[in-house]
Amino acid sequence: MRKPVYLDYNATAPVRPVAAEAVARALQVTGNASSVHAFGRAARRLIEDARAAVAGLVGGPAGSVVFTSGGTEANNLALRGFANRRVVVSAGEHDSVLQAAPGAARLPLRADGQVDLEALEGLLSGRTGPVLVSVMAANNETGVVQPVAEAARLVHQAGGIFHCDAVQAAGKIPFSMHDNGIDLLSLSAHKIGGPQGVGALVVGPGPGLEPQALLLGGGQERARRAGTENLPGISGFSAAADLACRELDRYAELARLRGEIERRLLAEIPTLRVYGADAPRLPNTACFGLAGLRAETQVMALDLDGVAVSAGSACSSGKVTPSHVLRAMGASEEEAGSAIRVSLGWDSRADDIERFLDAWLAFYRRNLAA
């Protein structure tokens, strides 16, 4: 039996061996990092070393890394941790941003998947009161990289705070919190080969950037997030972040494999729609669709052939529904409902691409080509 092919890295990446080893070592450490005795200090050292490694992933200040249960909690802390601020979020954000600020103004996307900066200027101009704007670094469904530096500049000119969900970008492309003018930045370990259930909010050094804690009951994480820290998860996050920093060139190579997927499919099916192809994208992500082929049918057929891909975000309780991201880019409901995402990662190989192409093209020929 052939080995299954995993091409759903944007949902979660396989755990890197070095991260699994770091988790195993941390499980042998006895001590609460809040304790002052030697056992506690040993645990504390691991956490503080991890802060530096995670900060290094995005060029942020090590002392401002707040460890959380994942990217979702980090986004909630950023969006809900600043009371009395008018909130603006892009229409293509992850549900953990959209649902954390249900009353937020929506910043539209252009047809290529990038945010409309002129619309952002309009939303910011002539408004009174403090504002918080959230624009992700790269979209989880299309891979489109957003102009976050330009967006942050506009927000700061209006006296606002700029939050960026960098869960998909970190470890895949060079990305600097400082260079992009980001005040608050969300991360997740399992997207870069770390364990699930751990993430971080990195808080910039500027004035007025202290989020109000959502979890109360202790002084952990500099009173920003109560609860005993997840030492094994944080240690695995640290190891994955360190390796991801050193292997960015590997992700750059994945652009060739992604390009091969799109080239081969378009050569046979010129009417195939590749979403985000006219904008800068992550090197590992291809999102495409063909009217008449339902996304869920494609995902199930490929799964039966031993190839794992996805339709839209993986954070929708297993439901396959038309993507709000693609709809915001101007796709019809039928077009959005036909799109699938192929996402590569640290362990992807050329053979995986051949398996996917063989399986998908066979499915297409059975269903539409005739």
The residues, any chain, with a CB within 8 Å of residue 192's CB and separated by 6 or more, are 13, 57, 170, 171, 172, 240, 241, 244
Catalytic residue selected from 164, 245, 287, 315: 315
Return the residue matching tokens 């998947």.
Answer: 113
By C-alpha distance, which of 235, 245, 242, 246 is closest to 22? 235
Gap between the Cα atoms of 85 and 80, Å rounded: 9
**DSSP string for residues in 101-128:** STTPEEEPBPTTSSB-HHHHHHHHTT--
DSSP code for 35: -
Q: Which two tokens stand for residue 202?
A: 């990195």
The vertex-341 CA angle with 67 and 12, nearest 5°, equals 25
Using CB atoms within 10 A of its CB, is residue 300 exposed (0-12), middle (13-18) or buried (19+)?
A: middle
**Degrees, nearest 5: CA angle 10-13-15:** 165
Q: Give yes or no: 287 in active site.
A: no
How do 161-165 and 184-188 pair as beta strands?
parallel
Q: Which residues are catalytic?
A: 315
